[in-house]
Amino acid sequence: MDNFVLEGSAKTPSVDFNAEKGVLELRGRSIPENSIEFYKPLNEWIENYGKSPQPETTVDVRLEYFNTSSSKCILDLFKQLENLNGSGTNIKVNWYFEEDDEDMEEAGEDYQAIINLPFNMIEVEEI
């Protein structure tokens, strides 16, 4: 299947979903006024990927900021992955946050508490 690559913009993150590697990356900031529009194609890609996934799938979330409109869409993305987990692929999430960015660290912990997927919290100097 095709990979899904989008360049980042001032309001939306860059997307690099690679079907051969089984690596799904979101990077940058996610602050669109209406996030549903932006995230819908991502959900559709994951749905297709789920039909023939790699044995191991890694989700790399390297977000600098996201608004509350995005937070719901990101949850939906994780829920979708949660449903895929164990049926042909083992999924793990790497949640990156910058040093001292407690807000982003907490945001990762919030998802970790809601979603039944293994989360690695990774502190980095710069996203």
Q: Helix, strand, coil % (nearest 5) of the chain?
A: 35, 35, 30
The β-bridge partners of 5 are 16
Task: Report the C-alpha gap between 94 and 61 in whole angstroms.
Answer: 6
Q: Are 4 and 42 in contact (CB under 8 A)?
A: yes
2 is a contact residue toward other proteins (CB under 8 A): no
Task: Report the C-alpha gap between 96 and 53 in whole angstroms.
Answer: 23
Q: How far is the CB of 79 from other proteins (least distance, A)?
A: 9
Question: Which residues, numbered 9-68, are part of the site for other proteins (CB under 8 A)?
Answer: 10-11, 31, 33-37, 64-65, 67-68
7 is a contact residue toward other proteins (CB under 8 A): no
Task: Report the C-alpha gap between 85 and 78 in whole angstroms.
Answer: 10
**With respect to other proteins, which residue has the nearer C-beta, 1 or 114?**
114
Question: Which residues, numbered 76-95, are part of the site for other proteins (CB under 8 A)?
Answer: none
Question: Which residues, numbered 108-127, are part of the site for other proteins (CB under 8 A)?
Answer: 110, 113-114
Q: Which residues bind other proteins (CB under 8 A)?
A: 10-11, 31, 33-37, 64-65, 67-69, 71-73, 75, 98, 100-104, 106, 110, 113-114
